[in-house]
Amino acid sequence: MCTQSQHLFIYPFIYFSFMCCRDKPMFDASYKLFCERIIRQRLLVNNEVLRMGQLRKPFIDMVKENKGVDASNYRQDLLKKRLAQDFPKLAFHMPTKRNVCELVFAETLSKDALVDMLPDQSGMETTQSISDMQNGHPLCCTS
The pLDDT tens digits for 24-56 are: 578 999 999 999 999 999 999 999 999 999 999
More confident residue, 12 or 110: 110
Q: How far is CA 77 from CA 8, 36, 112, in A?
A: 31, 20, 28
- pLDDT score at 109: 84
Residues in the chain: 143
pLDDT at 24: 59
Taking only the tens place, the pLDDT of each residue in 80-125 is 999 999 999 999 998 888 888 899 999 988 878 877 776 544 343 4
pLDDT(12) > 80: no
Q: In angstroms, rounded to a whole number, what is the distance separating the alpha carbons of residues 57 and 136?
A: 11
Residue bearing the bigger pLDDT, 100 or 21: 100
Selected residue with higher pLDDT from 5 and 80: 80
Give the C-alpha separation, 57 to 34, whole Å: 10
How many other C-beta atoms can be found within 10 angstroms of the C-beta atom of residue 46?
Answer: 9
126-142 pLDDT, tens digit per residue, is: 434 434 433 444 444 44
How far is residue 122's CA from residue 68's CA, in Å, rounded to a whole number? 43
Model pTM?
Answer: 0.65
Residue-level pLDDT at 142: 41
Q: Is the model's pLDDT at 13 over the cut of 50?
A: no
Per-residue model confidence (pLDDT) at position 130: 36
